[in-house]
A = this chain, B = another copy of it.
Amino acid sequence: MHTTNIIKPLSVDSVIFGFEDDQLKVLLIKRIVDKDSGTWALPGGYIKYDEDIDVAAARILEERTGVKVFMKQLGAFGEVNRFPDKRIITIAYYALVKPRNFALSLEDDASAIEWVNVYDLPKLLFDHGIIIEHALRSLRRRVRIEPIGFNLLPNSFPLLSLQRLYESILNTTFDKPNFRRKILKMKLLIPLEEKQEGVAHRSARLFKFDKNRYDKLIDKGFSFEV
């Protein structure tokens, strides 16, 4: 990594959430450089002098994963001793993505990159565990009042997947018929002709999220709520 042209006391770290095998996961990398070797960490990097911080966050993630995603800022983490020896304050971001769209590619300074279950994390570098906790809290708050959960699912999905998604984020369970009723009543899902394939039981209808419709409803004062 080049160290010229960066703002030295500031870094960016990203919590990338994905949903895979009915589990909420986080993208982690394991570094091989210097004494951090062997510790899992959030993908991160440094901000350039002539770069907006939001842009820096997106660039760094793209460098590591090849995918451009919209990042939401979580906040700054700046305890005096969070980083050893030096005083580095990090600005954390998070994003919700579809893991299938990610072709994970290793960079020079990483020995591994993996999706890890958010409820079963390894020991993490510095305060990255705390950052993930904060991100999860923020996600839980937002996911209930904004239709952001769909960013974690494929474009078309059965209702039960959506339910499992909310259950794993909110760490709870819902009654199936009731969840179904509530979601469908919002009229935000377009029922497709397609059905599930390759399942060992009655196949479910697939739906897709209707972003257009959502925007219109919002203008009319509608508010999403799960």
A residues touching B (Cβ–Cβ < 8 Å)? 7, 9-10, 47, 49-54, 73-76, 78-80, 87, 89, 91, 141, 145
Closest to A49 in B: B87
Selected contact of A51 from candidates B47, B50, B80, CB within 8 Å: B80
Closest Cβ of chain B to A197, distance in Å, is 40
A125 to B52, CA, bound (A): 19
Closest Cβ of chain B to A176, distance in Å, is 22
Closest Cβ of chain B to A135, distance in Å, is 13
Closest Cβ of chain B to A79, distance in Å, is 5
The answer to whether A89 and B49 touch (CB under 8 A), given A9-B7, A10-B9, A76-B73, is no
A80 to B89, CA, bound (A): 18
Copies of chain A in the complex:
2
A49 to B9, CA, bound (A): 10
Q: Which residues of B contact A51 (CB under 8 A)?
A: 80
A3 to B75, CA, bound (A): 25
B49 near A78 (CB under 8 angstroms)?
Answer: no
Closest Cβ of chain B to A195, distance in Å, is 37
16 new A-B contacts, CB < 8 A, other than A10-B10, A10-B89, are A7-B9, A7-B87, A7-B89, A47-B89, A50-B80, A51-B80, A52-B78, A52-B79, A53-B78, A54-B78, A73-B76, A74-B75, A75-B75, A75-B76, A78-B91, A89-B91
Q: Which residues of B contact A50 (CB under 8 A)?
A: 80, 87
The answer to whether A76 and B91 touch (CB under 8 A), given A9-B7, A10-B10, is yes
**What are 26 A-B contacts defined by CB distance under 8 Å?**
A7-B9, A7-B87, A7-B89, A9-B9, A9-B10, A10-B10, A10-B89, A47-B89, A49-B87, A50-B87, A51-B80, A52-B78, A52-B79, A53-B76, A53-B78, A53-B79, A53-B89, A54-B78, A73-B75, A75-B75, A76-B76, A76-B91, A78-B91, A89-B91, A141-B141, A141-B145
A51 to B76, CA, bound (A): 14
A91 to B76, CA, bound (A): 7
